[in-house]
Structure 1
Amino acid sequence: MKTVLKISLLAATTLAGTPLYAQSQADAGYEAAADENVIIVTARKKEETLLDAPLAVSVVGEQELDQAGFTDITEITKVTPGAFVEAGGQNTNGFARINSTPRFRGISVLSGNPLQQTASVFLDGVYLSGGVETIGVNELQRVEVIKGPQSALFGRNTFAGAINYVTKDPSKEFRVHLNATAATRDEYSIAAGVEGPIMDGLSFRVGGSYSDKQGHYDNVAVAGQRLGDEQQWSINGTLLIEPSDRFRLKLRASYQEIDDGPAAAVASYGTAYHNYGGFLLNPDGTVDLNDSVQPAPLDGTRTESVYRGQIRMPTAAEIGLNSSFADIQAFRGFLNDARYDPTDAIFDFKYNPTNVDEFGLNLDALRLSAAGSVDLTDNIEFSFLGGYNKENFGFFADFDTSPDASFTGFTARETEDYTIEGRLSGSFLDDSLNISAGASYVDIDIAELGGVANFFSFPIFFDDIFRSTPFTSGAKTLGIFGSIDYEFNDQFSITLEGRYQEDEIRAGDVNAGLATPISPAKITAFLPRATLRYQPTNYTTLYATYSRGNLPGGFNPEVAELDAAQLAELTSKAPGASPVFGEEKLTNYEIGWKQQHPDGIFAFNMAAFYMQRSDEIYTSIVTIADTLPNAPNPLRTVNFVSNGATSDIYGIEFDAALNISENFSMQGSFAYIHSTIASFPEIGGTGDFGDIFGSAADVAGQEAPRFPPITISLGTTYEDNIDAFGDMFDRWFFRTDLFFTGEYYVSNANVARVQPATDVNLRLGLRGESYGLELFATNLFNETAPTTAQNFADTSFGTRTLPGGFFDFSREGSRVGLRDKRQFGIRLSATFK
């Protein structure tokens, strides 16, 4: 009997690919992989295998999620070539399990703003503007990781790729599921679920989970505190309504709460590790510490001091954060002056500086969705979906991530979004012509606040950052889309897809003081994709794809407030500068080859691509005349964002599965991606590169930061029958997984590098129809390379210009995420029918 996996409604015409990780030994037996367990999708209103559909996608199925022990998206993307997620690696004011934005094919993103992300995550086809790292895997049927621009049918923020979580449907049989895990270093989790029929055509599923993990690192700055504590619980419920084979409606609701401790992140800091920039080196190669106190940068070149080489991991004595309740009380002291009133908007946030009493993330999220379809005729279907998500979080963090009592920050955000979509699909001419058309609408509202305070010399509170009113932003996105798929014969077919998209972006206070408001602003685009498929045999698919993606723009309030004469001078020096900067574009050219052996002995996917990122945004500061009467200075500076940079990206992605025997199987993946800056406007600010090498240096040719050019995964499984345990267990297995991440640069300066990392996991256990028992080891060889790194000002005491003086913010270090240490554990599972 075939296993039929229906692609989610929103992704119905975009997801395809050979699901190598979905085809485990148990899924596709050595002899019967090609017949009995072929995974089928209805992506184009007809059943077709994932092999048949011409698109680069990795599918990690329910069984693989369970057997590999994956717990979140950072682990899942280790087996999906071309995708990469840094854990907690995108927030400015401190590390936390938020803003862990997926990255695809070397497309970097340096903003934590949900409206500016280059990739998006969907839950059952519903757009999620909130965090993705906190979504558990217990209720997932599969995860679809789609690479390359998906804007033609997914729409907003799928500039470089998309991830779709597909939740489990309720069973037609009554079942109870239990799953419990315990591991060394005090980590525990439990998940339970009940599902079954209520009546004919109506079934349900209810589940919940709880996990508690103690951090792996002692905090030297706060006695008895660990770094990396994580605790969360969640509940969910699903109703599936199928009164006939022509109508289907799935309703789902979930709620979760997170209460983490201080994140396992620390600065790589200290004067001895500023070996590149304005510092001299001794003959033996060490830093001249005397020179380091008063550096003398080379004129017009190196203007900041940084570290060059692989980032040094801090020692145990250097791993510490100022994250005590006393630090919170000191922070609150700055709020208790005349600037802040109990009626101010910051106190309307669910999590705010007055009610959060511990360092670490506090988060809650409510997610509601409905998805359905109805067959209007034998060959025409109407499908629809709707969703609502609300996420609140707030957390204190040690801003400088060092044991030195320097800076404390607080960040909060409330995100709310709505999604609705309808689609009409039809199949004609004996299924050789498939047509789909639809419309979607997404509305996102974001309110956020943040502030940083320091506790040395005399107190300074950055009131221009932490205001009494929050920052608000949002977007309304309307999309009209369609696709035409025509099969010329059994071998050749062509698919044309397109979306007209209108983004209305808004910012709450950007109009303040402007004679002519600039918010909201509208950006429109047409986003096409064309695919040619050739299938010379039933087991081979070759394809070529052209696609485009877009990333909507934003506002320049400093440009909007200029008078006509000032604007004319600015545009003469910086052509293209305007109150609203435009969209970025990504053009993708891709070819692919998918192959399976007729008897299921092997299968592989291979894709090669070239992408050009154009109209890429950059920041700049230009000096012009100040024409205002009685201006205190005849000149003024204008800070703005504009379009004009370009990047070239090319690469190859490969994944494969091999059934060596009836008992032994292997699977693996490889990706090589090269992403460089091709051109950059002369007036553009080059960020870290310009800060280090000076504004006259040419940034063209620099590699994209924070994306590893090389990633590799390799897994093996040996499984055989066993009869020593009666009916409880009938199989035993041994599994190994290796994940390699190559080194990559921290910033576009290309000086500091994150060292390569190799993780190895082992699993040994027993399986039966109703019970499972497993022993496991994770990070077997105790890899210590950081999980993430951010270029950041080194504010440790040792880098001050003078002892006891102010910090020299031109000295840069790195904030690094600490990898979990080696763990051993046991996992038990049971299913009762």
Structure 2
Amino acid sequence: MMRTFVRATLLCATALGSQAAYAQAVSNTTQPADDDGGIKEIIVTARKTEETLSTAPIAVSAVTSETIAEQGLNSIDDFARTATGISFSQAFGRSSDRPVIRGQSNVLANVQFGVETGAAYFVDGIYYQGDIQGFDPLSIERVEIIKGPQSALYGRNTYAGAINYITKAASDTFTASGRATVAEHNEFQLAGSVSGPLIPDLLGFRVGGRHYEYGGEYTNRLTGKKVGQEKTTSGYLTLDWDNGGDVKVRQRLSYQRDRDGPLAIFLQGAAFNNCQPGFRSPRYRSRSIFLPYVPATLGTSTNTNQYFCGTIKPQPDNVALNTDETTVVFPAITSFIPGVPSFPGATITRDGTAFDGIYNRQWYASQVADWDIGGSGFVLSSLTGYRDNKNRFGTDSDHSDSFFYFGGPVGEPAFANTNTKDSWDFSQEVRLATPQDRPIRGLVGLYYFKQVQEGRDLTFANPLQGDPFGTLGSSFNWLEDRAIFASLTVEPVEGLSITGEVRHQVERKRQLDYSSSVTAPFCAGYAGLEGFTNLTATLCQPALKETGTDPRITVDYLFPSGLLVYGIYARGRKPGGFNGGAGVTATAQLGQPLVQYLPEKVESFEIGTKFDALDRRLRVAASAFRNTLSSIQLTSAIPNPNGTGAINSVVTNQGDGRASGFELELQMAPTRDLNVTMGISYVDAHFTSGCDADQFILNSGGLRPNFDTRNPTAAGLALCDISGNRLPLGSPWIANGSLDYELPLSAAGSLWFNTNWSLEASKYVQVHNLAKTGDTFLVNARLGYRTDRFTISVFGRNLTDEDTIPLATRWFDYRYGAGTTGLPAANTVTFDGRPAVIETGAPRAFFGTLRKGRTFGAEATFNF
């Protein structure tokens, strides 16, 4: 880690030393410098009112449209690298987004319905429930990454922070802009927009579109085809009504379609396991006569290790996905056990998955309206959003060349993870704000959100629409959130402000899940609701209802010199939910109630300061925080008892934690020709208490815990305790920086250059703190020539050719068979003086996502 940090420091120092070779800066997180060399201000709306970035008493990083254009940023993956305190990993391609702010994360976030990341997306201040990686970057005016609990003003799922995309408004005069990009690996992009007045001084428009393709870098060795391909086609129309007085209305309609190929994922199998010896290892696995179509393709093993300790290395030559037709020969099994039949051999030719990759089609409509009532300064605002989304996802989720069935060679293989989800959501916020230039000011608002999602299993018989609802693999989920919120600011003396914010919300969830049984589905709260009148009250549980009040108090003082200091106290929550049929199964297997999980909560204290110095040529923002976490939502994996589909995972509340750290952002513009930024953040996010069942299995040598993991015995706690372990998925150290220069060549044009870099410390992939991703150092650069109208540039991404994996997930390796061998007699195994149960599940493995390597390309833009 230290060696990589030194490399980054030397790179920044070298770039600073070459300033004689270049001139005029463009900014990273702000607009270009003023003519006199000072740094321009940015207006942000992080507290739902317009404030300058340097005087807003809140930790927020802003990525402007200038930065997006100059540095070629394409998605939240890029935006996060320019900000402090946030980590983002493309763990499942462009799906299941999991932004991690200040170390607060969840391994199952956005994989299972209702499991939230803790950092929500917003578009023009409207809650955006879904993946956002395909959002058109050239339609964005700025991105505000707001850190710390935001539940009081922003609501559900913002207990770690909020990410707000502010889109571009219509222009006062007719303008047109466009961009064309070509790069290695068959990457190209065409994007453009036209804007201007429809009715002068009253109604303006902006219409734009984008087509983006990436051909993939890695090859599936089973098919010889590329994986990781990406394709997006999108368009939008924005109408801005402004009568120059009391009323402003923005209406926006957008369409987006993504079609991505199979994920660029490899499997690090159990053969790599090098620590935690025990029974859950390849050594004790063999073929099973009870599951004859799970052959031991890897034969026998002498490896007694249950887990992998260290950095998971990328294996680009080991992408092995059964996504095309394959002929499989299953050997015959002769049984010598009375009552157990023999099984003949079977030969089948079958595609491993009924659908491959990611398909996402979305319509999104929004309206933001502000009415200054009679010019009084009292503003009534309405924010409305509607999203209709259809998603298909398919992958061979054992991520290996293995091809087997739990229940016989019919339907899809055991690990075919293919599904479709149709969903829609609607949100409405209404708020009334007092005049913002008064010493006492505030706002009050009402909020409503509803989401409905229907899921179906994609099979060979129904590869696009899925099997009918009510069959195995189908589900129906319903979510409704209602809230009232308010904010009040008092300035008792000049420069001192005290702001109190509070939100009271009621959230209800209902679920109908056929993942465990067609005849007796898991049903929560659907008796007589949404047309499910045939379900009996005894089958259906009451809907999950969560009620909570979350406050936020800010005290700040702005000195006459421009120095801002502030302190914040806030509480937030991440919603609870249902585990559905998987929870019913887990309850039966583990002997504890896991049907639903509770909200995860945070209590936060933060202090910060912001100031400009050296005649606005230096800007500093710094903050320190301490967050106390309770009822942390952890994940446990369980086998699917029906013998079909992927392994299930459930969420449990099994621990408390603490996240403490600091963030520092610097921007320097010593002349109008040079702009340099640098940021660094540190977070110590760890468990203060917690008992994990898999931790027990690892430490006990392969025994299942014979206690409720939320109430362990003293002896059991010693083996399942995860206190002191770091929270997974978040990096303790993140640093980034940029340098921008422009050299005027003539009155008509100039040569420009920029570079940006990011350094992210290794992340643990699970709570055990054994397997990790490795430190990641990325460098990008651009060199080009521009005039007032045109820009031509060449660029390089990931110039260090960093190959560390973005993330990995703990998984199973059934290639040693589904049976057991060599285990001691059950009556000889004890724990804490009582008979113990040997864990006979499949050995652990890890699947990891491959990072895009070094890439060179060229780009041209125009602006009229």
TM-score strictly above 0.5: yes
Give percent identity, aligned residues only.
27
Q: What's the CA shift string for 1:561-612, capped at 9, x where partnerless?
A: 99xxx99xx9xx98xx697643221111111111212522111111111001
Helix, strand or coil for the counterpart of 1:485? strand
The C-alpha deviation readout for 1:405-429, integer Å capped at 9, x for no partner, is 353321222221000011100027x
Cα displacement (A) at 1:120:
0.9
Aligned CA-pair RMSD: 3.5
Deviation (angstroms), 1:116: 2.3
**Partner residue in 2 for 1:427:** 435
Which structure 2 segments of 5+ residues have no match?
1-25, 282-297, 331-349, 405-414, 461-466, 513-521, 525-534, 638-648, 706-715, 823-838
User: 1:819 — aligned with what?
Assistant: 851
Measure the CA separation in 2 of the matches of 1:147 and 1:796. Answer: 44
Is the partner of 1:660 in helix, strand or coil?
A: strand
Q: Secondary structure at the match of 1:744?
A: coil
Partner secondary structure for residue 307 of structure 2: coil
Distance 1:45 1:513 in 2: 45
Aligned residue runs from structure 1 range 179-198, under 5 A: 179-198=179-198
Q: How does 1:775-794 map to 2 (within 5 A)?
A: 775-794=794-813
* Partners of 2:44 and 2:77 in 1: CA distance: 26
Cα distance change on mapping 1:490 and 1:520 into 2, 3 Å: same
Q: 2:862 aligns with which of 827, 830, 833?
A: 830
Alpha-carbon distance between aligned partners in 1 of 2:212 and 2:421, rounded to the nearest angstrom: 24
Shift of 1:243: 2.1
Give the corresponding residue for 1:115. Answer: 114
> For the Cα contact (< 8 Å) 1:510–1:555, is it kept in 2?
no
Identify unmatched segments of 5+ residues in structure 1.
1-18, 90-94, 282-289, 297-303, 331-352, 454-462, 622-638
Residue 715 of structure 1, CA deviation? 0.9
Are 1:83 and 1:105, in contact at CA under 8 Å, matched by a contact in 2?
A: yes
Mapping of residues 382-781 of structure 1, within 5 Å: 382-406=380-404, 407-427=415-435, 431-450=438-457, 467-468=471-472, 470-508=474-512, 509-511=522-524, 515=538, 517-555=540-578, 581-597=597-613, 599-617=615-633, 643=653, 645-680=655-690, 686-694=692-700, 695=705, 696=716, 697=719, 698-723=721-746, 727=748, 730-781=749-800
Counterpart code for 1:221? L
- 1:305-320 aligned at under 5 Å gives the runs 305-314=306-315, 316=317, 318-320=318-320
* C-alpha distance in 2 between matches for 1:768 and 1:799: 66
Measured after TM superposition, the shift of residue 774 of structure 1 is: 0.9
CA contact (8 A) 1:270 1:799 kept: no
Compute the displacement of 1:322 (Å): 1.8
Once the two structures are TM-superposed, the CA of residue 404 in structure 1 deviates from its matched residue by 3.5
Alignment of 1:370-385 (within 5 A): 370-376=367-373, 377-385=375-383
1:213 alignment counterpart: 214
CA separation of 1:49 and 1:77: change in aligned 2, threshold 3 A: same
Name the amino acid aligned to 2:448.
Y
Q: Deviations over 1:118-149 (max 9, x none)?
A: 12111112212121222231111111111111
Give 1:164-243 correspondences, 5 Å limit.
164-200=164-200, 201-223=202-224, 225-243=225-243
Deviation (angstroms), 1:640: 8.9
Determine if contact 1:446/1:474 at 8 Å carries over to the other structure.
yes
Q: Write the distance in 2 (CA, Å) between the matches of 1:619 and 1:267.
A: 20
CA distance in 2, matches of 1:422, 1:120: 19
Determine helix, strand or coil for the equivalent of 1:152: helix
CA contact (8 A) 2:681 2:734 kept: yes
| Residues 534 and 543 in structure 1, CA contact (< 8 A), matched pair in contact too | yes
Query: Hey, what does 1:337 align to over in structure 2?
Result: none
Shift, 1:518, TM fit: 2.6
Cα distance change of structure 1 residues 607 and 579 upon mapping to structure 2, 3 Å threshold: same
Q: Distance in 1 between matches of 2:502 and 2:768?
A: 37
How many Å separate the matches in 2 of 1:123 and 1:797?
48
**TM-score in terms of structure 1 length:** 0.80
CA distance in structure 2 between the aligned counterparts of 1:689 and 1:128, rounded to whole angstroms? 36
Conserved 8 A contact 1:760-1:778: yes
CA distance in structure 2 between the partners assigned to 1:123 and 1:22 by the alignment = 19
How big is the shift at 1:616? 2.8
Shift of 1:490: 2.5
- Alpha carbons of 1:260 and 1:30: their partners in 2 closer, same or farther (altered >3 Å)? same
When normalised by structure 2's length, the TM-score is: 0.77
Equivalent-residue separation in structure 1 for 2:148 and 2:672 (angstroms): 35
With CA pairs under 8 Å and 6+ residues apart, which has the higher RCO, 1 or 2? Answer: 2
How far did residue 714 of structure 1 move? 1.6
Q: Secondary structure at the match of 1:76?
A: helix
Q: Distance in 2 between matches of 1:771 and 1:493?
A: 46
- Tell me the distance in 2 between the aligned counterparts of 1:642 and 1:395: 25
Q: Which residue of 1 aligns with 2:69?
A: 66
Find the aligned partners of 2:392 and 2:48 in 1 and give their Cα distance: 44
Please list the CA deviations of residues 14-56 of structure 1 after superposition, one character each: whole Å capped at 9, or x if unmatched: xxxxx984324xx22362536xx32235777976422111111
Q: Deviations over 1:489-532 (max 9, x none)?
A: 22211100000101011112424676274332321111100000
CA distance in 2, matches of 1:259, 1:514: 42
Shift, 1:209, TM fit: 0.6
User: Number of paired residues?
Assistant: 717
Could you tell me whether the CA contact under 8 Å between 1:676 and 1:700 is conserved in 2?
yes
What are the superposed Cα offsets for residues 188-230 of structure 1, whole Å, 9 maximum, x if unpaired? 110011111111201111111101111111221102x111111
CA separation in 2, counterparts of 1:391 and 1:715?
37
Q: Distance in 2 between matches of 1:719 and 1:256?
A: 36
Q: For the Cα contact (< 8 Å) 2:676–2:739, is it kept in 1? A: yes
CA-CA distance at 1:360 after TM superposition? 1.1
Question: What does residue 12 of structure 1 align with?
Answer: none
Distance 1:798 1:761, change over 3 A: farther
Distance in structure 2 (CA, Å) of the matches to 1:233 and 1:315: 28
1:578 and 1:470 map into 2 onto residues whose CA distance is: 20
Which residue type is aligned with residue 601 of structure 1?
R
Output one character per residue of 1:125-177: Cα deviation in whole Å (capped at 9) or x when no partner.
Answer: 22121212222311111111111111001111112111111110011110111
Alpha carbons of structure 1 residues 291 and 269: separation in structure 2 relative to 1, 3 Å: closer
Distance 1:20 1:531 in 2: 29
Matched, 1:39 2:38: no
Q: CA deviation at 1:620?
A: 9.0
Amino acid at match of 1:248: K
SS state at 2:106 partner: coil
Alpha-carbon distance between aligned partners in 2 of 1:594 and 1:446, rounded to the nearest angstrom: 43
CA-to-aligned-CA distance 1:238-262 (integer Å, 9 cap, x gap): 1111123211000000111111111
CA shift, 1:656, in A, is 0.9
Q: Which amino acid aligns with 1:392?
A: K
1:472 Cα shift? 1.4
Q: Secondary structure at the match of 2:70?
A: helix
Q: Is the 8 A contact 1:20 1:655 kept in 2?
A: no
In structure 1, the partner of 2:60 is 57
Moved more, 195-204 or 357-366: 357-366
Q: Which amino acid aligns with 1:689?
A: Q
The answer on whether the counterparts of 1:515 and 1:561 sit within 8 Å (CA) in structure 2 is no
